Amino acid sequence: MERTLILAKPDAVQRGLVGELIGRLERRGLRIAGLKFMRVSRATAEEHYKEHSAKPFFAGLVEYITACPIVALAMEGPNAVDIARATIGATNPANATPGSIRGDLAVSIGRNLIHGSDSLASAKRELDLFFGIDELFDYQRSAEPWIFES
């Protein structure tokens, strides 16, 4: 079982596509472990995207992600990191396979709708940045008949 950080970015909120994005990930089989509608601070944006800090698009990326509220999600399931990345599609929507979120719903690399962590290590780092432990639901500790075997 893995958890990954998903962000429905400002363009997803502005275009009214948040439900569509979450719905696609849920229908794929991932479940929501945390969710919040929030404004990303400049400090959080810079930390989240620090691997890109030397790139020419970094300033624009930070402006974009802090421009209006986003929806942050922790999604979980078996191989959640890779499953989410495949469902999201390639970084540049021009190269994203039709059927993927970016391949169906986006045209521009600078407005590509959604973030998904690129590795388990990134997921842990990014989830810590966006969620407190008390904001994530622990399905294993629940008595409900959840869909994944333990």
> Does 112 contact ligand DAT by CB under 6 A?
yes
Query: Among 67, 118, 124, 135, which residue interacts with ligand DAT (rule: CB under 6 A)?
Result: 118
Minimum distance of ligand DAT from residue 63's CB (angstroms): 11
Query: Hey, which residues does 21 pair with through a beta bridge?
Result: none
Distance CA 16, CA 38 (A): 15
Minimum distance of Mg ion from residue 42's CB (angstroms): 18
Which residue stretch of 10-18, 29-37, 108-116, 126-134 sits at the interface with ligand DAT (rule: CB under 6 A)?
Answer: 108-116
Distance CA 143, CA 116 (A): 29
Which residue stretch of 30-38, 95-103, 110-118, 133-141 sits at the interface with Mg ion (rule: CB under 5 A)?
Answer: 110-118
Distance CA 113, CA 129 (A): 20
> Does 120 contact ligand DAT by CB under 6 A?
no
Distance CA 130, CA 6 (A): 10
Q: Is 48 a catalytic residue?
A: no
Taking CB atoms, the residue at the shortest distance from Mg ion is: 118
- For residue 117, count CB atoms less than 10 angstroms from its CB and return exposed for 0-12, middle for 13-18, buried for 19 or more: buried
> Does 118 contact Mg ion by CB under 5 A?
yes
Q: Pick the closer one to Mg ion by CB: 109 or 137.
A: 109
Could you say which of 9, 10, 115, 126 is catalytic?
Answer: 115
Q: Which residues bind ligand DAT (CB under 6 A)?
A: 52, 57, 61, 91, 109-110, 112, 115, 118
Residues marked as catalytic: 115
